[in-house]
Amino acid sequence: MQITAPSRREAIAGAIGAVALAGALVEVRAGETSREAGTGGGRLEMVVPAAAGGGFDTVARQTQYALQQNGLASGVEVLNLPGGGGTVGLNHTAQQSGRGDVLMVMGSSILGGIEITGSRTTLADVTPLARLAEDYIVVAVRQDSPLRTLEDLAAAWTGAPRDLVVGGGAIGTSDHLLAALMLDGLGVSPSELNYIVYSGDGEVLTSLLSHTSDIAVSSYNGFQSQIEAGEVRALAVSAAEPLPGVDVPTLREAGMDLDLANWRGLAAPGGLDEDQREVLLDLTHALVGTPEWQEAVERFGWREAFVAGEDFDAFLTEETARLEQIIEGLGLS
């Protein structure tokens, strides 16, 4: 059945984010449970606080596809706004106060970006909705690199940390924090980290293959194709446990007592009324129950970690405190 998209004025005035949305209920089953989602099939703006091609962008594109395929939204416009460790996109979202037709992809990198940049815009200015899944970071080198194992990397890093150029995401992101934590775990000051910031996995990969960077720390799914093609050698992933179907050791398996989950979630602007918030919460439940989203979780090596509403708020309080402690302990704030 073809869905005719309403105009933007209609969408903003009476579709997503309006009580009228609750009149069109869609039931989506996830396992043995089901939940009614009052989405109304309106249009959405999806803010990605990072460049195209990275982990946040992948989550946005998969969300876009799942929502549209299941009639949960008639259209999803993805807006990439990189910069400031995610705070540029965060600030844009905060400025859309009261709009129930806007979603923003968020995650641990946003929390780190807020802390390190001293952003005046914080999570208090938006409406966190749900954690969707956990993504993981790969530590990778070129196939022709003399670094064959994580042990080789540890020896080289300890001996001459400034000689190894590390490419990754913005300062404060999980990429950056993982590299700093690894160096710190080797007894080397994180201030010795020779780190170059890139916008998105694509740029990180290019820097590695062009010999601009010696080591890459970035989303595993962003490097998966090159790893499988033999162009890139994955030394380890940041997961706490081995990833199903992924033939790469965890950091712990490779000899380093460290793991770091790069979770992905959704937020909306602040200033929403209770009906708007409930509609969007229902939408997140509907999203994770779609076969398209479930397939994406498996294909990209994510781990399902859905939590929403007040439970997500509690998680964010703990996660913020944890990341603040890490950043302060590394001397990065």
The Cα 208–Cα 213 span in angstroms is 5
Instruction: Give the pLDDT confidence score for residue 325 in this predicted structure.
Output: 87
Contact 30, 285 (CB under 8 A): yes
Q: For residue range 122-181, list pLDDT tens digits in order.
A: 999 999 999 999 999 999 999 999 999 999 999 999 999 999 999 998 888 899 999 999
Instruction: Give the pLDDT confidence score for residue 20 in this predicted structure.
Output: 30
pLDDT in tens, the chain (333 residues): 333 333 333 332 333 333 233 333 333 333 222 233 334 568 999 999 988 888 899 999 999 999 999 999 999 999 999 988 899 999 999 999 999 999 999 999 899 999 988 999 999 999 999 999 999 999 999 999 999 999 999 999 999 999 999 999 888 889 999 999 999 999 999 999 999 999 888 899 999 999 999 999 998 888 988 999 999 999 999 999 998 888 999 999 999 999 998 899 999 999 999 999 999 999 999 999 999 999 999 888 889 999 999 999 999 999 999 889 888 888 887
Instruction: Give the pLDDT confidence score for residue 41 in this predicted structure.
Output: 65
Instruction: Give the pLDDT confidence score for residue 51 in this predicted structure.
Output: 87
Contact 232, 59 (CB under 8 A): no
Contact 106, 74 (CB under 8 A): no
Q: Which domains does the chain have, with CATH numbers?
A: 43-134+262-330 (3.40.190.150), 136-254 (3.40.190.10)
Nearest to 82, CA basis, from 122, 116, 109, 101? 109
The pTM assigned to this predicted structure is 0.80
The Cα 155–Cα 113 span in angstroms is 30
Contact 166, 214 (CB under 8 A): yes
CA distances from residue 62 to 46, 92, 154, 275, 293 in whole angstroms, order as listed: 11, 22, 36, 26, 7
Quickly count: other Cβ atoms within 10 Å of residue 211's Cβ.
11
